[in-house]
Structure 1
């Protein structure tokens, strides 16, 4: 079921989204060679709880941590442990929070120190893909418009678009309808309506689309 949220509900979701955005910024400031994944996770959980919110991922589907941290060629859902970050890596960090019954969900990929040109270009193109997807999300359009915009911008530069994992709606549950693939055809898929709250998650690979 696709939910159309009231202005009051949208504001609650926005508050949770601000918490996860602030959490990611806190984590970003700690990213450097030698820092372990569990150190980042511990800092993120402490911050979320200071905001009188709950980690959105911890305990959901049995997941044991606050963050999903994926290094290099891991796509998503990496579990934080005592692995240290290394110079030149890229690291994707996904975080959710729940406050007053509503979720926020946000992910970014960061450079650890200085990265090489292929990694830098991947980060830039993926951010551009997200921007294209956001621009395509208009009331009266379709979910396929979003996926098409992301896919075209990625594949036109030679990147692969992951098919197995997608974005989603967000609200009183972390994962709600509709699914938001990063590929698609314009004019196809669920109708986009004002009041829908969507999480777009472009997952872009160098060269191939396989996970």
Structure 2
């Protein structure tokens, strides 16, 4: 069987449910953005996420996943992804990555954003802007008839000339009833034959871009991923529906880097 046939094509009914889940995920994410301020602990923000999800009749798609202990992933500065809320206090000059996945009516919405806290270094500002730009460069290829490899390659092709690197060990993915479905969506051009995108495919596209080395390390908690050179990293994500026309952002939010 060709690999592309493993990619689930959502029915109109399923797409409707994914729109609802995506909207809930986006609402929770943008409410959490408002809570990112100096003096707040990452655990406080994680617990706020639980309350916001309950208000929207949904729950975390991450809590308990392979033993993950947080409601959301919250990662600061050199932490790339999969950070767990704890006693760490947010400081001026930090960049805070919020990754929110929710389950509502059996379907998942998954999205992420990076928040600048007060004045940040110029290189870091450029990193955040470039990473969000690379997300939309990839989304522009989420069209029926295009190859997945072109979507994936758009991320690295955008950030590399600016002096940044993409994380290779962690990738985007298909999403729907399950958090991780086929296909994998790396942030670089994969080798080999690439699937052709079809209407009804739903993809979590999520550039993870580092200011310095692409090399990563996982901390002793077994989850938190950091850059080995301790330079900052940025992460942006949308759940996107492939259609016969323009790509549809199921986790729509206003474009822009919060705090800049």
**TM-score of the alignment, normalized to the shorter chain, above 0.5:** yes
Q: Given the alignment, which residue of 79, 84, 90 partners 2:89?
A: 84
Q: SS at 2:16's partner residue?
A: helix
1:66 corresponds to: 71
The verdict on how the C-alpha distance between 1:39 and 1:135 changes in structure 2, with shifts beyond 3 A counting, is: same
Q: Given the alignment, which residue of 30, 48, 53 partners 2:58?
A: 53
1:19 corresponds to: 24
Which sections of structure 1, spanning at least 5 residues, go unmatched? none
Q: Given the alignment, which residue of 14, 29, 33 partners 1:28?
A: 33
1:165 corresponds to: 170
Count matched residues: 211
- TM-score of the superposed pair, with normalisation by structure 1: 0.96
Between stretches 181-190 and 136-145, larger displacement belongs to: 181-190
Kept after mapping to 2: 8 A contact 1:148/1:186:
no
Cα distance, 1:207 vs. partner?
Answer: 2.6
The verdict on how the C-alpha distance between 1:138 and 1:186 changes in structure 2, with shifts beyond 3 A counting, is: farther
- TM-score of the superposed pair, with normalisation by structure 2: 0.79
Q: Given the alignment, which residue of 200, 207, 219 partners 1:202?
A: 207
Residue 93 (str. 1) matches residue 98 (str. 2): yes
Q: What CA RMSD, in Å, does the superposition of the two structures yield over aligned residues?
A: 1.3
Inter-partner Cα distance in structure 1 for 2:142 and 2:192? 12
**Structure 1: 4+ residue segments shifted above 6 A:** none
Structure (1/2) with the larger helix percentage: 1
Residue 150 (str. 1) matches residue 155 (str. 2): yes
